[in-house]
Amino acid sequence: MIRSVSLIIKHGAELPRKMGKVLSARLKAHGISVTAGDVDPASSAVIVLGGDGTLLHVAGKAYLYGLPLLGINMGALGFLTEIPMEEMDAAIDDLVAERFELDRRTMLSVKLMGYGECPALQYYALNEAVITKRSLGRIISIPARANGLFLTTYRGDGLIISTSTGSTAYNLSAGGPILHPATEALILTPICPFALNARPLILPPDMEVSIDIQKGQDGTILIIDGQTHYDLKVGGRIEIKKAAGYLKLVRSPSRDYFMILREKLGWAKGVGG
Q: 170 and 95 in one domain?
A: no
Quick: pLDDT tens for 64-100: 999 999 999 986 667 888 888 888 999 999 999 999 9
User: Which residues are within 8 A (CB) of 34 and not within 5 positions of it... i.e. 6 or more apart?
Assistant: 4, 5, 6, 7, 24, 27, 28
Residue 273 lies in a domain: no
Residue 43 lies in a domain: yes
Residue 61 lies in a domain: yes
Q: 18 and 112 in one domain?
A: no
Q: 119 and 217 in one domain?
A: yes
Q: How many domains does the chain have?
A: 2
Q: Which of 52, 93, 94, 157 is catalytic?
A: 52
Domain range spanning residue 34? 4-106+246-265
Give the mean pLDDT of the chain: 91
Tell me whether residue 208 is exposed, middle or buried, using C-beta atoms within 10 angstroms of its C-beta: 0 to 12, 13 to 18, 19 or more. middle
Q: What is the mean pLDDT of residues 258-270?
A: 81
226 pLDDT above the threshold of 90: yes
Q: 148 and 95 in one domain?
A: no
Q: 97 and 45 in one domain?
A: yes
Query: Is the distance from CB of 250 to CB of 100 less than 8 angstroms?
Result: yes
Instruction: Determine whether 52 is an active site residue.
Output: yes
Residue 271 lies in a domain: no
Residue 164 lies in a domain: yes
User: Which residues are within 8 A (CB) of 264 and not within 5 positions of it... i.e. 6 or more apart?
Assistant: 77, 78, 79, 168
Where residue 191 sits, what CATH number does that domain have? 2.60.200.30
Q: What is the mean pLDDT of residues 241-269?
A: 88
Specify the amino acid at residue 243: A
Q: 18 and 138 in one domain?
A: no
Quick: pLDDT tens for 154-180: 999 999 999 999 999 999 999 999 999
pLDDT of residue 270: 61
* Sign of CA pseudo-dihedral 49, 53, 57, 59: positive
Report how far residue 104's alpha carbon sits from residue 43's, in angstroms, rounded to the nearest whole number. Answer: 19
